[in-house]
Amino acid sequence: MAAAVILVALSPVQAHAASAVRAPAGKLGDGTQIEVITLRNAHGVSARILTYGATLQSLSAPDRKGEVADVVLGYDTLDGYVDHPNYFGTTIGRYANRIGGATFTLDGRAYRLPANDHGQSLHGGGKGFDKVAWRVASVRSGPVASVAMTHRSPAGDAGYPGTLDVTVTYSLDEAGALTIAFDATTDAPTIVNLTNHAIFNLSGEGAPGGATGHRLTIPATAITPVDTALIPTGTLRPVAGTAFDFRNGRVVADGIRDGNDPQIVAGRGYDHNFALDKGLTATPQMAARLEDPVSGRVLDVLSTEPGVQFYAGNFLDGTLTGKHGHLYRMGDGIALEPQKFPDAPNKSGFLSARVDPGKPYRHVMVYRLSTRK
């Protein structure tokens, strides 16, 4: 994997430059006040986080010439996220990705979930964590700027067992790394799979060339192939010799329309989970690298989880108007979502997503920004 030139270097006088600023962002229909917290370092990197959906509304960074642009798709105001939800930058839970048949069994009991995606349950069902108001627990400036938000999901919420107490913490450092830590505890056995659903265009959101010209590297020798409903079959398929081989890096556009591969046909392009060679790790390790030859921006995605969903915006169809009046279409952004494997509760061969009382859930992921010449 080619080394990237780190965006900035730390120095002692810059060590306390990161700031966190809290401001109102509007109200929901029931009067609930939503806030936006802006994290900013001294080198032009900033992140805006909405308490609605614990959403990464924007992530801005300089290109190789020092020009700053927002690199995530989304909406300019709260209303867009409420009125036209599409998971842009949101926190996903209780279970990210799909659960087949909108049902799973735990300790001999079957649980029925909302079927919000052609008979499957997607991203927690109809009202997941992306559609609730989170409570701000702390906002801190300093060497690392951060905001922590909490949410309680009661037992039976969207059909899931156990009362789940969740904390999501966004932290921005001076080297251009935005860390997102997900922590959860339960009072009864349940399943948990939390991630962030940011969709990136490193040329800048809405850039007319889209994101399929980006070069992507994923250190994975296999994917979890899917059926026509995009539910994993339960097997692993080697990527060698296929359009899914990103181990040495390749331009996304090179394989995204390869209709000779049934998996590309099923996903309408790339919408697949990659089984990372690293597996489940105690500390965040490389899950993917995205590079934009136009701007020089590089995004490294690190995670403790064993999989990463690569989604190339295949279902963006021009019906959503995002930031600055940009019409989002297929290929306009790329999501790289670290996670447990999709439908793991129904696949005995996949790493379990079970969480029990006294054994907290934790997932730490990092969006690390840099530039190359």
Tell me the torsion sign for CA atoms 258, 271, 116, 107: positive
Mean pLDDT, the chain, rounded, equals: 95
Calpha distance 190→216 (Å, rounded): 34
55 Rama class: left (phi>0) / alpha (psi -120 to 50) / beta: beta
Calpha distance 273→337 (Å, rounded): 9
Catalytic residue flag (residue 205): no
Query: Is the pLDDT assigned to residue 12 strictly greater than 70?
Result: no
List the structure tokens of 338. Answer: 């670290």
Instruction: Give the pLDDT confidence score for residue 340 in this predicted structure.
Output: 98
Model confidence over 120-132: pLDDT tens digits? 999 999 899 999 9
Catalytic residue among 205, 326, 337, 363: 337
Model confidence over 93-142: pLDDT tens digits? 999 999 999 999 999 999 999 999 999 999 999 899 999 999 999 999 99
DSSP character for 13?
G
Domain ranges of the chain: 5-9+16-371
| Residue 16 banded pLDDT, cuts 50, 70, 90 | low
Q: Is the pTM of this model over 0.85?
A: yes
Catalytic residue among 43, 123, 151, 197: 197
Question: What are the angstrom distances between the C-alpha of 95 and each of 42, 250, 279, 316?
Answer: 36, 30, 19, 22
Calpha distance 208→259 (Å, rounded): 25
Catalytic residue flag (residue 197): yes
156 contacts: CB under 8 Å, gap ≥ 6: none
What is the CATH code of the structural domain delimited by 5-9+16-371? 2.70.98.10
